[in-house]
Amino acid sequence: MKKETYTFPAILHYADDGISIEFPDLPGCIPCAETTDEAVKNAKEALGLHLFGMEQDKENIPEASTVESLTLKSNEIPLLVEIFMPSVRERLNNRFIKKTLSIPSWLNVEAEKAGINFSGVLQNALKEQLHIDRRI
């Protein structure tokens, strides 16, 4: 079952060239930033995207480590990052993607003359074909 809210610890690594962010429980989720404010924002965005991907791939999402269990170096600070997944899921499920398709040249000419919205026609046709009655 998908949870609504997750909170994971992140480690902010400060270096001369910026801040790298590590989620010890989520290998591969490693955003970066130039400022602490940007690091907090990027950590939250990366966490949401990473967890959404794990959900889509039906991967088990691990339990979060406690901040007390983290081992920090002198140039590192811990950060608890909380993400509300329903808004992440909504945003990512309703984003638009670009599709390339082919139609005969003569049909393209006629459709353009008529001012046809190709995206709208394709969306409507797909919804009709799939028996979906949903507005975006």
What are the sequence ranges of the domains in the chain? Answer: 5-93, 96-136
Contacts of 38 (CB under 8 A, 6+ apart): 19
Q: What is the DSSP letter of 21?
A: E
Q: Amino acid letter at 47?
A: L
Q: Give residue 136's pLDDT.
A: 54
Domain 5-93 has CATH 3.30.160.250: yes
**DSSP-assigned beta bridge partners for residue 80:** 9
Task: Report the run of H or E that residue 126 belongs to, with start and end.
Answer: helix 118-130
Single pTM value for the model: 0.76
Q: Phi and psi for 88 in degrees, rounded to 5?
A: -65, -50
Contacts of 10 (CB under 8 A, 6+ apart): 21, 22, 23, 43, 47, 78, 79, 80, 81
Contacts of 104 (CB under 8 A, 6+ apart): none
pLDDT cut 90: percent of the chain above it: 78
Q: Amino acid letter at 7?
A: T
Tens-digit pLDDT profile for residues 34-75: 999 999 999 999 999 999 999 999 999 999 999 999 999 999
Strand 76-84 to 5-15 pairing: antiparallel
